[in-house]
Amino acid sequence: MTSGLLQPEMIGIEERQEALLALLQPGSGRAMAARFEQYATENSIGLDWIWGCRDAEGTLESSVLCVPSAGRTAMIFLSSVRNRDQVQQRATLLQHALSYLQDQDVDLGQSLLSCDDTLGHDAHVAGGLEPLTTLLYMERSMARAHEAPPPMAGVELVAWSDCMDDSLSCILDASYEETLDCPGLCGLRRTEDIILGHKSSGCHDPDGWLLARIDGVFAGAVLVNPSREHDNIELVYLGLAPPVRGRGLGRHLLETQLARYSGSTFRKMTLAVDTKNIPAIRIYEDLGFRGTAHRNAYISSLASRA
């Protein structure tokens, strides 16, 4: 049974490793916490927004970390909940962190949990994070050759450039209509912030972003970025406007990117998809992607809370 006190406090740099250690899986040592801190520093991952709760002896027992990112979002990491008595303490930490984020330039808080983490689920919901969906993570080896698909009649593929954000914004707005991929996110963020978020996923590579113009109108996009380590690539977004769905365009866009990156120095392409998006999953599986993990996604609309 925990003796933790429900008095969250912001943790200073002198105790940061202690707070990070409380975030890691039970059994993790200080060396792992130090490596985590070093990795965050090398990759410009913010560690300033971290709060903790102490036990009766003053030892940091639990912590919550909010990592801000481009596009007015923050990823939230919470100490694991090992027994029912810890649920309320963790929930109090989350409530404290979300209240702080409301006063910052953040519109959306997000978190991910293992699907079998029922205690973590209870703490997240009690702390103010709402269940969004279950995500399926998939990957495909880039060592496999893939031929470029034949051109589609009436479809022009246009490489993205800085002057095309307005066109991309129109594509994204249209693609959210009746979407099967995380529809609960629709309307929670400004489209320009979503584009900034896509650019900050991994390392933005303009050459990996293609827009589809169909009969003169932009109506689809496929966005691929290298990972921070430059060993993998990620399918950041694939979306179509409703009038052009069901014509094979999504598959065509993805095949075009697979052909481009096959045989490159990238080991694999990764993606995450809503498990309810069955049509997309079928395309991914047909093109050689295989599931690797599931995670439950949680969100808090901080703009609406404010």
pLDDT tens-digit readout, 152-209 = 999 999 999 989 999 999 999 999 999 999 999 999 999 999 999 999 999 999 999 9
Question: Are 150 and 205 contacting, i.e. CB atoms less than 8 angstroms apart?
Answer: no
Closest listed residue to residue 3, CA positions, set 61, 87, 82 = 61
Amino acid at 99: S
Length of the chain equals 306
Residue 62 has pLDDT above 80, yes or no: yes
In the predicted structure, residue 39 carries a pLDDT above the cut 90: no
* The pLDDT value given to residue 25: 75
Whether the pLDDT of residue 4 is over 70: the answer is: no
At residue 1, the pLDDT reads: 39
Q: Which residues pair with 131 in a beta bridge?
A: 298
Distance, in Å, from the CA atom of 299 to the CA atom of 132, rounded to the nearest integer, reads 6
Average pLDDT score over residue span 274-294: 97
With beta carbons less than 8 A apart as the criterion, state whether 174 and 219 touch: yes
Residue 52 DSSP one-character state: E
The residue among 124 and 264 whose pLDDT is bigger is 124
Closest-CA residue to 138 (of 299, 298, 287, 297): 287
Domains of the chain listed by start with CATH number: 9-128 (3.40.630.30), 139-294 (3.40.630.30)
SS (H, E, C) 213-262: EECCEEEEEEEEEECCCCCCEEEEEEEECHHHCCCCHHHHHHHHHHHHHC
Confidence bin at 2 (pLDDT 50/70/90): very low
Average pLDDT over residues 238-252: 96
Run of H or E including 295: strand 290-301
Q: Are 299 and 305 in contact (CB under 8 A)?
A: no
Q: Which of 287, 93, 303, 73 is nearest to 193 (CA)?
A: 73
Residue 226 contacts residue 268 (beta carbons within 8 Å) = no
Average pLDDT for residues 13-35, to the nearest whole number?
Answer: 84
Return the bridge partners of 74, or none: 68, 109
* Mean pLDDT estimate for the chain: 93
- pLDDT score of 43: 78
pLDDT at residue 189, rounded to an integer: 95
| Residues 73/107, Cβ–Cβ less than 8 Å | yes
**What is the mean pLDDT of the segment spanning 250-272?**
95
Task: Identify the CA nearest to 170 among candidates 239, 75, 82.
Answer: 239
Residue with tokens 């490793």: 17
Confidence at residue 229, expressed as pLDDT on a 0 to 100 scale: 84
The pTM is what?
0.92
Q: Quick: pLDDT tens for 215-225.
A: 999 999 999 99
Over range 75-104, report the average pLDDT.
95
State the pLDDT at residue 248: 96
pLDDT at 97 over 50: yes
Percent of the chain with pLDDT over 70: 97
- Contact partners, residue 230, CB within 8 Å, separation at least 6: 203, 265, 266
